[in-house]
């Protein structure tokens, strides 16, 4: 029974050819980067002030989303460069 742990790695390595590449796990992305960013979620704006508030909220949501995309791109770039 003691030889079983010693023989198992040898048997598993025999399944791979010399050209096969190792399987790497996907990069770890923090869960907060996968949450959606809030944009404007209110009713249809009726006045100039409401339109201004909606545009500001939408711009903040897009800036948040673009920042998260840039961070995920950096994580993926670092993980694939290794």
Interacting residues of 39 by C-beta distance below 8 A, sequence separation 6+: 57, 58, 60, 61, 62
C-alpha span between 81 and 73 (Å, rounded): 12
pLDDT at 76 (0 to 100):
86
CA angle (66 as vertex; 64, 67 as ends), nearest 5: 65
Which pLDDT score, from 0 to 100, does residue 61 have?
A: 95
- Check: CB of residue 75 under 8 Å from CB of residue 32: no
pLDDT tens for the 82 residues of the chain, in order: 565 666 777 667 666 666 767 677 788 889 999 899 998 998 999 999 999 999 999 999 999 999 999 999 998 887 766 6
Q: What's the confidence (pLDDT) of residue 70? A: 94
Q: What is the pLDDT of residue 50?
A: 94
């Amino acid at each position: 029974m003691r030889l079983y742990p010693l023989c198992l790695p040898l048997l598993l390595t025999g399944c791979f050819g010399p050209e096969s590449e190792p399987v790497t796990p996907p990069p770890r992305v923090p869960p907060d980067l996968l949450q959606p960013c809030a944009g404007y979620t209110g009713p249809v704006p009726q006045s100039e002030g409401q339109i201004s508030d909606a545009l500001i909220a939408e711009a903040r949501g897009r800036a948040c989303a673009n920042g998260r995309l840039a961070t995920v791109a950096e994580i993926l770039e670092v993980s694939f460069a290794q």
